[in-house]
Amino acid sequence: MNCKIEIVPRLLHFKQPAGTSRGVYTTRKVWYVHFTSPEFPGRVGVGECAPLPKLSCDDLPDYGKRLADVCRWVEEQGGKLDGEALRDYPSILFGLETAIRHFFEGTWALWNTAFSRGEAGIPINGLIWMGDFDKMLVQIEAKMKEGFRCIKLKIGAINFEEELALLRHIRAHFSAGEVELRVDANGAFSPVDAMEKLKRLSELDIHSIEQPIRAGQWEEMARLTSESPLPIALDEELIGCNTLEGKQRLLSAIRPQYIILKPSLHGGFTGGEEWIAEAEKRNIGWWVTSALESNIGLNAIAQWCATLNNPLPQGLGTGMLFTDNVDMPLEIRKDCLWFCK
């Protein structure tokens, strides 16, 4: 098929500074890809390529040039994607998968599911951003009033005792049966004190902890997953592990209780499905999370997630982050994300 891919860079602005383990984000650079063909006049497929600075394996100094080269190559292939050739460029693969699917479906409802038909919402967690004690407490109380049944706190930014106090505050009002608590350490614990902290967290009926120690310490992480009273979910650990053999080695060596899948970071839809298949062979649980994409990427992730029939709360509550986001028929009602057809 004769096709053309136009690249449209955008700088998005956060409504509030977003505190993460890699610092505070106030802006977010993304590259939209517009897929067109003279064979289908007036039709455009849009995808989002959004590597995370200092985190994505394809966060490269010449990212814009690499993206342009890939787009020209896809044009030469008549719009066909070679997932194998793009394994090392997960954000580019995700953006192009989205754009091509959007082009051929002709609608933001990228798959035919109860979610895309507006018949069912996807349960999501309420995300509490890093900040000082008072700011995090305000966020927590707001999420509880909104009716979230799963709350995720990013920890590791303030004193651990204060973080425990925030978690105790939630537990004083809601039991584990009423509100599920997840925490994300983003690798903030050291191997020396991680087990003690995991034990203390487990006393508060925490569902799981993401990435307690930094990625790359397979032996230490395997020890924690085998001995921790608190289930461990891998996130950053998966980044850059792009081959099937690499995924098999990592999951077999560490044996986490869960993995968290972010298409922009972990191989697009095809790479995500590969992770899921290998995880399920080993009885490892999983859920899907967005990675600070605009609504273009968030919608694509949610549409894909709805095909997977995972009942756990997903990490898809990031659609209201930007002042200059793209309009999309997505809406959060209570603790579910809905597609308003």
Active site residues: 154, 262
State the Cα–Cα distance between residues 163 and 128, nearest whole angstrom.
12
Q: How many CB atoms lie within 10 A of CB 239?
A: 19
3-state secondary structure the chain: CCCEEEEEEEEEEEEEEEEECCEEEEEEEEEEEEEECCCCCCCCEEEEECCCCCCCCCCCCCHHHHHHHHHHHHHHCCCCCCCCCCCCCHHHHHHHHHHHHHHHHCCCCCCCCCCCCCCCCEEECEEECCCCHHHHHHHHHHHHHHCCCEEEEECCCCCHHHHHHHHHHHHHHCCCCCCEEEEECCCEECCCCHHHHHHHHHCCCCCEEECCECCCCHHHHHHHHHHCCCCEEECHHHCCCCCHHHHHHHHHHHCCCEEEECHHHHCHHHHHHHHHHHHHHCCCEEEEECCCCCHHHHHHHHHHHHCCCCCCCEECCCCCCECCCCCCCEEEECCEEEECC
State the Cα–Cα distance between residues 157 and 162, nearest whole angstrom.
10
Which positions ≥6 away from 193 have C-beta within 8 Å? none
State the Cα–Cα distance between residues 160 and 112, nearest whole angstrom.
45
